Amino acid sequence: MVCVHCGSSTGVINSRHQRRSNAVWRRRQCAGCRAVFTTREATDYSAAWAVRGRQGGLRPFSRDKLLLSLHRSCQHRTDALKEAGGLAETVISKLADQASDGVIETRAIIQVTQVALNRFDKAASVHYRAFHN
């Protein structure tokens, strides 16, 4: 990676895996100007995973689509957006175990999301089930 200040090459001086957000936090230092800055690297799931629909067609996985669906189900909660974001990260981490050859079935996404919502909020789970079954 190049320095954001001078464009020289950088080296990693500290790195931590962020389990909750499926990302890597890195502290970098520039070899040229010695500036220190932080980066956060996350997987682009739309490029890594494809979703097989009910008719068999494939489309890229969309974290945003999952997030919006969860947000709609959690609208009755006071901090719905933050909670939907946390739920989306939980669902994505569970789906990573099921992504064989980079393909995930729509049914698997619905099932994993349903289980997560059922444990989190029964009303949100009922709302989600009404629109995704």
- Residue 123 confidence (pLDDT) above 80: yes
The position carrying tokens 């080296």 is 11
Rounded CA gap, 78 and 85, in Å? 14
Residues 9-68 pLDDT 10s:
999 999 998 776 678 999 999 999 999 999 998 888 888 899 998 898 999 999 999 999
Amino acid at 115: V
Q: What is the pTM of this model?
A: 0.73
Q: What share of the chain is helix, strand, coil (3-state, %, to 5)?
A: 45, 25, 30
Task: Tell me the sheet residues that pair with 41.
Answer: 24
